[in-house]
Amino acid sequence: AQKITQTQPGMFVQEKEAVTLDCTYDTSDPSYGLFWYKQPSSGEMIFLIYQGSYDQQNATEGRYSLNFQKARKSANLVISASQLGDSAMYFCAMREQRHYGQNFVFGPGTRLSVLP
Amino acid sequence: SAVISQKPSRDICQRGTSLTIQCQVDSQVTMMFWYRQQPGQSLTLIATANQGSEATYESGFVIDKFPISRPNLTFSTLTVSNMSPEDSSIYLCSVEVRVGEKLFFGSGTQLSVL
């Protein structure tokens, strides 16, 4: 069963507008972490933002914020004031506990295109 | 933070040969992972590299095909054995410096098998 779902294979946004990328997850662990990574065409994986399952407030990092709705098991990424350089693949990921340690599971990704 | 050096950055290989990818971290880390990213796809975990012991493989990946070494807390290798065109992917080394923190990634190895 897919643990991370990103329902938007592709998204378009006008430059300077805000955009929300969806992510839902599935876990029975009470303690977990949620991450967003950006992968531009160069292929590098860039960490954007983190939300812990016990965090009371939504995480923010500059133009990035995470809309965390625990009861709905969603962790949507909001990018404000989009820039052309934001065009990339965006992956939602979850850290889960395994018997031998921890594992990070990635969603299928959303390709964001910012239009001038 | 962690700076990861992954080599080679890309290679073109013949069917039936093997390629070893190296991952060097500038500091001791708790966890090291190897991921595969097939063209246009997401990241799939191959295995967790365990220091001084056998790697822990995910379903669908076996040691004979993807032998992994981790002799210390800063270095690991992944070998892609007896390659076929289906092995053409990006292979990514990633590390967790401390438990509960984010993953850092190497720059990846772009592998093409002819």
Place of tokens 């093409």: B112
Give tens-digit pLDDT for A69-98. 999 999 999 999 999 999 999 999 999 877
Determine whether the interchain pair A104/B42 forms a contact, defined as Cβ–Cβ distance below 8 Å. no
Helix (H, G, I), strand (E, B) or coil at B50: coil
Q: Taking a C-beta distance cutoff of 8 angstroms, is the pair A104, A93 a contact?
A: yes
Q: How far apart are CA A92 and CA B26, in angstroms?
A: 26
Beta bridge partners of A60: A65
How far off is chain B from A116, nearest CA to CA, in Å? 24
Tens-digit pLDDT profile for chain B (114 aa)?
A: 789 999 999 999 999 999 999 999 999 988 899 999 999 899 999 999 988 888 999 999 999 999 999 999 999 999 999 999 999 999 999 998 877 788 899 999 999 999
Determine whether the interchain pair A33/B100 forms a contact, defined as Cβ–Cβ distance below 8 Å. yes
